[in-house]
Amino acid sequence: MGRTIIALDFSGKEEVLSFLDQFPDPIYVKIGMELTYGEGLEVIREVKRRGHQLFLDLKLHDIPNTVRGGMRNLARLGVDMVNVHCAGGIEMMKAARQGLEEGSAGRKRPLCIGVTILTSIPQETMNTELGIPGTVTEAAIHYARNAREAGLDGVVCSPHEARAIHEACGQDFLTVTPGIRLAQDAANDQKRVATPEYARQNGCDYIVVGRSITRSADPYQTYLAIERTMNS
């Protein structure tokens, strides 16, 4: 299966399924809170029934016991990747992993990925409003080290941080990177974008691509071209 995860940022189940109909083979997709809260878990089960790999991007953040129970149930859905906010702390991240193991019973455990500093938070806000010192990259690396210590499989980060995170946490610690644009695309609302080629050169393990694929004239061909770049 590929290293390109397509973000299915559609508002309804029908749109999701007709988009997936354009792909002859299973792909790796990401579903987030808008679709999950709007459509319920049925859309997740249907995507899995169709054989696709699924990153369920719900970013859990609560006390350890609650996260453990939530993760146990997410694992039972048979999803392939889930995430938590690293800001919940090491105990919470350990509990997330434990819940996933409990819910997987005999099946492959979903990968558990930590969200470091949201890209919507500039350094000034992080320093003054949130009270976290240093640069955003320093904070992201600090959170990534905590995630590694808690036994998480990797973190979500910017393609520009992937190399430093691998250096700090090891090459086998996964980096999952959104903010990808093809050279010819508009950046839209993304601030610091990178191409798939840049992402590959910087060691990103998975890239999350939304609009560059979903809004392209031929999503399947665009996806194949990106996958070729990521695997070259």
Tell which one of 2, 70, 114, 179 touches ligand C5P (CB under 6 A): 179
156 binds ligand C5P, rule: CB under 6 A: yes
Tell which one of 146, 190, 202, 222 touches ligand C5P (CB under 6 A): 190
Residue 101's Cβ-count burial label (10 Å; 0-12, 13-18, 19+) is middle
DSSP the chain: --SEEEE---SSHHHHHHHHTT-SS--EEEEEHHHHHHH-THHHHHHHHTT-EEEEEEEE-S-HHHHHHHHHHHHHTT-SEEEEEGGG-HHHHHHHHHHHHHHHTTSPPPEEEEE-S-TT--HHHHHHTS---S-HHHHHHHHHHHHHHHT--EEE--TTTHHHHHHHH-TTSEEEE--B--TTS--TT-SS-B-HHHHHHTT-SEEEE-HHHHTSSSHHHHHHHHHHHHT-
Residues in region 32-61 near ligand C5P by CB under 6 A: 32
For residue 198, the minimal CB distance to ligand C5P (Å) is 14
Closest CB to ligand C5P among 9 and 101? 9
Tell which one of 64, 103, 154, 210 touches ligand C5P (CB under 6 A): 210
For residue 213, the minimal CB distance to ligand C5P (Å) is 8
- The C-alpha atoms of residue 198 and residue 193 are separated, in whole angstroms, by 10
88 binds ligand C5P, rule: CB under 6 A: no
108 is catalytic: no
Closest CB to ligand C5P among 124 and 189? 189
Q: Pull the structure tokens for residue 178.
A: 């959104």
Q: Pull the structure tokens for residue 117.
A: 């500093």
Closest CB to ligand C5P among 12 and 105? 12
64 binds ligand C5P, rule: CB under 6 A: no
Stretch that binds ligand C5P, among 19-27, 65-73, 126-134, 209-217 (CB under 6 A): 209-217
Contact 77, 102 (CB under 8 A): no
Size of the residue set binding ligand C5P (CB under 6 A): 15
Q: Which of 13, 48, 59, 94 is catalytic?
A: 59
Tell which one of 209, 216, 223, 226 touches ligand C5P (CB under 6 A): 209
Catalytic residues: 59
By CB under 6 A, name the binding residues for ligand C5P: 7, 9, 32, 118-119, 156, 178-180, 190, 208-212
